[in-house]
Amino acid sequence: MTNSINSSMRLYAETVRAAGSLRTEHRVPVGCALFPGELVRPPRAWVARQYDLQRWTEMPRGGHFAAMEAPELLVADVRAFFAQLR
């Protein structure tokens, strides 16, 4: 409730200090849903290098608060991701 970005960035700063980097390799299946109103849109190649990328969906609408802005799109994509893992 500080009305600044500092409190939200604290977690990232502490993680980097503790681990030396935010870069790690992940071996669990990952799905990525990109919403056009999001602030950061990583290139697919970057995500695939870091994660076991199984699903990549570019959404037609929504943004940073996708669960509130386009819940039906988000839920459908999550369901489709887990259905392919069965």
How far from chain centre, in Å, is Cα 56?
A: 11
Of 15, 41, 33, 25, the closest CA to residue 79 belongs to: 33
Structural domain boundaries enclosing 70: 24-83
For 4-34, the pLDDT digits (tens) are 777 778 877 887 777 666 566 668 999 999 9
Query: What confidence score (pLDDT) does residue 32 get?
Result: 95
Mean pLDDT of 64-72: 93
- Print burial letters for 53-62: b (CB count within 10 Å at least 16), e (below 16): bebebebeeb
23: left (phi over 0), alpha (psi -120 to 50) or beta: beta
Would the pTM count as exceeding 0.75? no
The total of structural domains in the chain comes to 1
Q: What is the average per-residue pLDDT within 52-78?
A: 95
Q: Which of the four pLDDT bands, split at 50, 70 and 90, describes residue 56?
A: very high
Give a yes or no: residue 35 inside a domain. Answer: yes
